[in-house]
Amino acid sequence: MNIDLSGRIALVTGATGQLGRVMARTLASCGADVVIHYLSNEAKAEEIGREVEALGRRAITVQADITNLDSIQAMKEKALAEFGRVDIVVANAVIQYEWKSILEQSPADYVGQFESCVLQSVYLAKAFIPGMIERRRGRMIGINTECSMQNTPGQSAYVAGKRGMDGVYRVLAREVGESQITVNQIAPGWTVSEQDRTNNTEHSESYEINVPLKRRGTDQEIANVVAFLASDLASFITGAYIPVSGGNVMPAI
C-alpha cells in the first residue's frame, strides 16, 4: 500500500518554514505538484521549487500575506492559472512572536495569532473550497499544535489562536462533508527540524522525559501524516485533531 498523490495539486502555506519545506518535498515525492507559498523568503521558496522539480513534479512559488483575503485570492488565481485547480490545501503558516505571560503579552500578539490561525483558515476555505465542492473532492489540512491541549504558561496567544482554528476546522468539516471534502488537523509536538540538526539541538531531556516515546518527533514524521491525510487512504477521516507528539498529549473520549 503506497501513498499515491499522482495528478493532485497541493498548496502548502509557509512552505519555506522548518516544517513546511519538508511537507512540500514529501507531497512531491508522493506524486503531487506543489504551490509553494512564502511571505518574504523568496530565495528559499525558489530552492524548494527546484527540489520539487528534481523529484519530477511541477512547482510554482507564490508570495502572499495569509492574513489578507485579497492576497490569498491573488495566490489562488496564480495557482489556477498554472495548474487549473488545487486539490490539497495545507495551512501551515503562522506568525511567530515572543511568548510571555498574559499580563505581559501585547494585545497585538493575540490579534496576530487570530489572523494567522483563524482568519488564514477562513480565507483559504473561501478561496479554495468552492472549487473542491464543484469537483466533489478535496483535502483541507491545518497544522495545529499539541500546545492547544497543554495550556502551558506563556502560550496564551498561541493557544487562543490555535483553539479558534480548531473550531473553524470542525465546523467546516460538517459543512462540506457531503461534497466528499475532508477537513482535518495535525497537532505536532516539539519537532526536530533542519535547524535543530544544524545547531545540534535535537534533544531536550526536560521535554523528552514526559513523552511516552521518550524523544522528540521529526519534521518528516509530521510530513508523513500530511501526505496520508492528503491521500485516498484517508478518504473517510474528517473533523479529526491528530496529535503527532509521541503520546505527549492524548485526546480523550
Q: How confident is the model at residue 253, as a pLDDT? A: 87
Q: What is the DSSP letter of 37?
A: E
| Domain contains 168 | yes
pLDDT of residue 30: 98
For residue 119, the domain's CATH number is: 3.40.50.720
Among the listed residues 110, 158, 207, 241, the single catalytic one is 158
- Residue 158 located in a structural domain: yes
Q: Residue 88: inside a domain, yes or no?
A: yes
Question: Does 61 fall in a domain?
Answer: yes
Give the three-class secondary structure for 8: coil
Listed in order, strand segments (DSSP E) in the chain are: 9-12, 33-38, 59-63, 88-91, 138-143, 181-188, 241-244
- Which parts of the chain sit beneath pLDDT 50? none
Q: Are 92 and 21 in contact (CB under 8 A)?
A: no
Total structural domains within the chain: 1
* Residue 4 in domain: no
Name the residue with cell 522548518: 18
Q: Is 158 a catalytic residue?
A: yes
Residue 76 domain-assigned (yes or no): yes
Report pLDDT for 229.
98
From the list 2, 14, 55, the residue with the least C-alpha distance to 33 is 55
Q: Is residue 3 included in any domain, yes or no?
A: no
Q: Give pTM, 2 decimals.
A: 0.97
- Per residue in 134-165, pLDDT (tens digit) is 999 999 999 999 999 999 999 999 999 999 99
State the greatest distance between any 2 C-alpha atoms of the chain, in Å, as a whole number.
51
> Does some domain include residue 1?
no
Separation CA 242–CA 71 (nearest Å): 29
**Helix (H) or strand (E) segment spanning residue 90:** strand 88-91
Q: What domain range includes position 62?
A: 9-244
